A and B are shown apart, each in its own frame.
Chain A
Amino acid sequence: EAQVTQNPRYLITVTGKKLTVTCSQNMNHEYMSWYRQDPGLGLRQIYYSMNVEVTDKGDVPEGYKVSRKEKRNFPLILESPSPNQTSLYFCAIVGQAYSGNTIYFGEGSWLTVV
């Protein structure tokens, strides 16, 4: 069964304390992406990765970093979180053509920065 696992699911942290939200997949797909969802703004892309060691900025990359050292993992790093990064975060994987290009989402990570 296709799985996208995000951790932590819920986190309250303080301004400036570095944190990492992990995303892992069990499907061996190449394309992974991070989104944030905010009321009235929909889902906005933060970063995406086409393959190992290939990452690129999305629409709202400021304040975030990512890495793709292995195919299954795509962590989102907040080096110095600020309150405006309080949001709901989703990791998404786009399957290859043989899987119908289905998009798989993680369950979401609710992050609060105080």
Chain B
Amino acid sequence: AQSVTQLGSHVSVSEGALVLLRCNYSSSVPPYLFWYVQYPNQGLQLLLKYTSAATLVKGINGFEAEFKKSETSFHLTKPSAHMSDAAEYFCVLSYSSASKIIFGSGTRLSIRP
């Protein structure tokens, strides 16, 4: 069965520090993986996606993620956090014969001044 696990429901970093949000997946078929961001009282915005091309994926706002099949991971990183990055982040899995989109439980990112 397919599943997505986000480690850490809440991550707090200082402004300018590295952001690392962890996502591990389980899938018996080749997955498509996404990171979405949700700012307070807003909808879901696509940050980046992996769909079996390059394993290092660059997204918007300076975020990137690396697909590591051997570790079944798709961690989200940003070298230097900005106050505007404070939001909830969701790791999402789908696959080519999608009958379901699998959401991670979400990680709330807080930025300390």
Q: How far is the CA of A66 from the CA of B70 in the complex (A)?
A: 40
B51 interface residue (CB < 8 Å to A): yes
Instruction: Give the number of chain B interface residues (Cβ < 8 Å).
Output: 22
Q: Is the CB of B105 within 8 A of A42?
A: yes
Interface size on A, residues (CB 8 A): 22
Which residues of chain A (84-107) have a CB below 8 Å from chain B?
A: 90, 92, 94, 97, 100-103, 105-107
**In the complex the two chains form, is B96's CB within 8 Å of A97's CB?**
yes
Q: Which residues of A contact B98 (CB under 8 A)?
A: 31, 94, 101
A33 within 8 A of B: yes
Q: Judging by beta carbons under 8 Å apart, are A43 and B103 in contact?
A: yes
Label chain A's interface by main secondary structure: strand
Q: Identify the interface centre among B32, B92, B98, B103: most chain A CB within 10 Å of its CB.
A: B98
Chain A, Cβ-Cβ closest to B96: A97
Q: Among A43, A100, A106, which residue has its beta carbon within 8 angstroms of that of B51?
A: A100
21 contacting pairs across A/B (C-beta < 8 A): A31-B99, A33-B101, A42-B104, A42-B105, A45-B101, A56-B99, A90-B43, A94-B94, A94-B101, A97-B96, A100-B49, A101-B32, A101-B49, A102-B46, A103-B34, A103-B46, A105-B43, A106-B43, A107-B43, A108-B43, A108-B44
